[in-house]
């Protein structure tokens, strides 16, 4: 995020040194329409859900756009699940022409679908890039209609108006 120097404690997974270092570590990609200023609080909130009995240490990686999510899936193999909060945008806020070229090379149909259902497009893209991933969607749409739709076949679970993050945390652990 900054161009300043990173210190070792800042770049290591937060579980190291907190008694959970021996547990398997993975990351969950969180795609949110929320402002970047709220991402730190979101990460901290998800970290607070960890319990001593959890079998894994799960670290959230938060992005705010379709392009950033695809890039994360292409380069970060620590990601084992994707959580999408409906309403995120297509384009990255960062000016990265190489990113757009990479997304275009892997998903040429994505550029023409910028105004469509980005959550369903991302679920299909994630399944094409990394079929082993579990994909979750938090939405205010009609869950019954969405869960039975062919376009949502890659989504493992749909959460309606998710109020309790613990439910999501437990689903990811499962």
Residue-wise pLDDT for 7-38, tens only, equals 444 555 555 545 555 788 999 999 999 899 99
- pLDDT (0 to 100) of residue 34: 85
pTM of the model: 0.80
Distance CA 139, CA 158 (A): 7
For the chain, what's the residue count? 174
| Whether the predicted pLDDT of 59 surpasses 90 | yes
- pLDDT (0 to 100) of residue 43: 92
| Whether the predicted pLDDT of 109 surpasses 80 | no
| Whether the predicted pLDDT of 137 surpasses 60 | yes
Going through the chain in order, the beta strands assigned E by DSSP cover 25-31, 57-63, 79-85, 134-139, 157-160
Using a pLDDT cut of 70, give the percent of the chain over it: 80
For residue 138, give the nearest of 114, 119, 153 by alpha carbon. 119
Residue 80 tokens read as: 């084992």
Going through 35-161 in order, the beta strands assigned E by DSSP cover 57-63, 79-85, 134-139, 157-160
């Amino acid at each position: 995020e900054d161009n300043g120097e990173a210190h070792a404690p800042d770049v290591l997974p937060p579980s190291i040194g907190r008694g959970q270092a021996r547990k398997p570590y993975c990351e969950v990609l969180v795609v949110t329409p929320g402002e970047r200023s709220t991402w730190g609080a979101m990460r901290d909130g998800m970290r607070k859900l960890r319990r001593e009995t959890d079998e894994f240490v799960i670290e959230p990686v938060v992005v705010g756009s379709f392009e950033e999510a695809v890039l994360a899936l292409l380069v970060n193999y620590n990601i084992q699940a994707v959580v999408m909060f409906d309403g995120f945008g297509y384009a990255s806020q960062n000016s990265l022409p190489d990113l757009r070229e990479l997304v275009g090379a892997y998903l040429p149909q994505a550029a023409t679908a910028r105004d469509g259902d980005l959550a369903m497009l991302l679920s299909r893209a994630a399944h094409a890039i990394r079929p082993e991933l579990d994909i979750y969607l938090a939405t205010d749409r009609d869950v019954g209609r969405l869960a039975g739709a062919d376009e949502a076949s890659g989504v493992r679970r749909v959460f309606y108006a998710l109020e309790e993050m613990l439910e999501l945390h437990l689903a990811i652990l499962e």
